[in-house]
Amino acid sequence: MSTASTSYHYVTVAGQRLFYREAGRKDAPAIVLLHGFPTSSFMFRDLIARLAGDYHVIAPDHLGFGYSDMPLVTEFDYTFDALADLTQGLLDQLGLTHYAIYVQDYGAPIGWRLALNRRDAITAIITQNGNGYDEGFVDSFWTTVWDYQRSNCQYLWIGVFQATSVPVGVAGLS
């Protein structure tokens, strides 16, 4: 575990105050940690300490979470597009041009948009319980998937979206 300390900062993007945690050397490869729901960057506190010896770690609180601003829904359009724009604005202010993203749950659709909008900036994508939505895929994607599924594999999605058994040794089973 690194002895590097985590620092805490705010930036203002599009009139919204965003909180983020930062650790590691600024000249090290960067990794951006995007939290899920209903958490904040606090969920990454131990991971940040482990990564900081080798990476420049940035972990923002999404708008409406943690220490970031929480505007009313009548004052901000809480869409993943809008949240991705704010996150990209934060990364731009920090001068990050290349970075890996670690996405978890609610942070995944934000991270996917970062990856699609700045393909050359993304060095890696790590996903944990990352979700996707039908609206995010074009019709040709689903046509191909469902055609394959109907013709080749009745259980294509088992193991992708759900566990069908508990591995031996887990939860005290033998």
- Output the tens digit of pLDDT for each of the chain's 174 residues: 555 799 999 999 999 999 999 999 999 999 999 999 989 999 999 999 999 999 999 999 999 999 999 999 889 999 999 999 999 999 999 999 999 999 999 899 999 999 999 999 999 999 998 876 656 556 666 676 667 656 655 554 444 444 444 444 444 444
Residue 120 is encoded by which pair of tokens? 């050359």
**Residue 29 belongs to a domain:** yes
Residue 143: its pLDDT value, please? 72
Distance (Å) of CA 16 to CA 26, 87, 98, 112: 24, 11, 24, 22
Residue 25: inside a domain = yes
- Kindly state whether residue 102 falls inside one of the protein's structural domains: yes
Residue 164: inside a domain: no
Identify the CA nearest to 104 among candidates 22, 47, 166.
Answer: 47
Helix H or strand E segment including 9: strand 7-13
CA 173 to chain CA centroid, Å, is 33
pLDDT at 172: 46
In this prediction, residue 131 carries a pLDDT of 75
- Residue 105, in any domain of the structure: yes
**pLDDT at position 142, please?**
61
Task: Give the range of the structural domain holding residue 21, as residue numbers without chain letter.
Answer: 7-134
Question: Closest by alpha carbon to 89, among 55, 66, 58?
Answer: 58
> How many other C-beta atoms can be found within 10 angstroms of the C-beta atom of residue 151?
7
Task: Give the CATH number for residue 73.
Answer: 3.40.50.1820
- Provide the domain count of the chain: 1
Is residue 98 in some structural domain?
Answer: yes
Looking at the DSSP bridge assignments, the partners of residue 23 are: 57
